[in-house]
Amino acid sequence: MGATRYTARHHRDRRARGTVETATEPTRRGITDVNRQNLIDKIAEATGLTKKGSGDALDATLDSIASALADGEKVSLVGFGTFEARERAARDGFNPQTGEKIKIAAKTVPAFRPGAGLLAKVDG
């Protein structure tokens, strides 16, 4: 029984990238998640742009942030936060199936540090 629930949740959460959902989905905590389509709808409503124009604006914004991070730049949005690429050091790990020790290579990962305005808004 537990495995079935895990499998269903596991498959639901591993949708293909770029999948567009039409409605928000309640999470385990009862909070509603906002997806790409919800953001497009909110942008269109707030700006008067068409949904296509809002989608293009969202895509351009996200692509610009991703490109800047890939180039090693920080992206600072005053009052919202800062996106940056951080180096994760190489480390020792283990294979959970065999227990064998392995080396995990160093890599660069994206990170976000919220700004004071965002923290204040989330805190209420």
Radius of gyration in angstroms for the set of CA atoms belonging to the chain, rounded to a whole number: 19
CATH number of the CATH domain containing 111: 4.10.520.10
pLDDT, position 108: 96
Nearest to 75, CA basis, from 61, 88, 89, 87: 61
Average pLDDT over residues 101-122: 96
- Secondary structure class of 118 (helix, strand, coil): helix
Contact yes or no for 113/75 (Cβ under 8 A) = no
Q: What is the pLDDT of residues 5-55, one digit of tens each?
A: 444 444 444 444 444 444 556 656 667 799 999 999 999 999 999 999 999
pLDDT, position 4: 42
Overall number of domains in the chain: 1
pLDDT, position 3: 45
Contact yes or no for 107/90 (Cβ under 8 A) = no
Structural domain includes residue 111: yes
| Average pLDDT score over the chain | 84
Residue 90 CB: number of other CB atoms within 10 A? 11
110: domain range?
34-123
Please state the pTM of the whole predicted model: 0.67
Structural domain includes residue 15: no
Average pLDDT over residues 62-79: 97
